[in-house]
Amino acid sequence: MAKRSLEFGMQPPKGTKVAWGARAIFKPISKNPMIDILWDRQDAFGDKEEREDLVEWVRKSGMPWLNQEMEDKASYSISRSHEVFRHEDGDYVLEASPKGSAGYLYIGAWKE
């Protein structure tokens, strides 16, 4: 059976065919808020070509948006929040939340 959930990050809606997720180190109160995506805390599922297209969108559009969003909202309290930040761009969606972790940012991206 094909994989349809992510080991790391925000879970996509049921029925999603391609998704990527990560649990990133999140330092919102440094001079420049930092999101550090570790190679071994990422996961993806879906057709290889669609995964590659999604990851390319995350790299070129999703993460620049998320970095700016986190810089705009930088504060210690954001790292303890459960707020979900959402970015939609055509068929692609990126969601992220600290989930109250005080040190991680859970990120998920998928194609609707």
Domains along the chain with CATH numbers: 19-111 (3.30.450.20)
56-66 burial by CB neighbour count: b if 16+ within 10 A, else e? ebbeebbbeeb
CA atoms of 108 and 27, how far apart (whole Å): 18
What is residue 2's predicted lDDT score, i.e. its pLDDT?
67
Rounded to whole angstroms, the Cα distance separating 14 from 11 reads: 9
What pLDDT band is residue 71 in, cutting at 50, 70 and 90? confident
Distance CA 72, CA 76 (A): 13
As a whole number, mean pLDDT of residues 73-79 equals: 72
Does residue 89 surpass a pLDDT of 90?
yes
Whole-number Å distance between alpha carbons of 8 and 22: 5
Give the pLDDT score at 52. Answer: 97
**What pLDDT is stored for residue 22 in this prediction?**
98
- For the residues 17-40, what does the mean pLDDT come to? 87
The confidence band for 76, taking pLDDT boundaries of 50, 70 and 90, is: low
pTM above 0.75, yes or no: yes
State both tokens at 32. 């420049």
pLDDT band at 51 (very low <50, low <70, confident <90, very high): very high
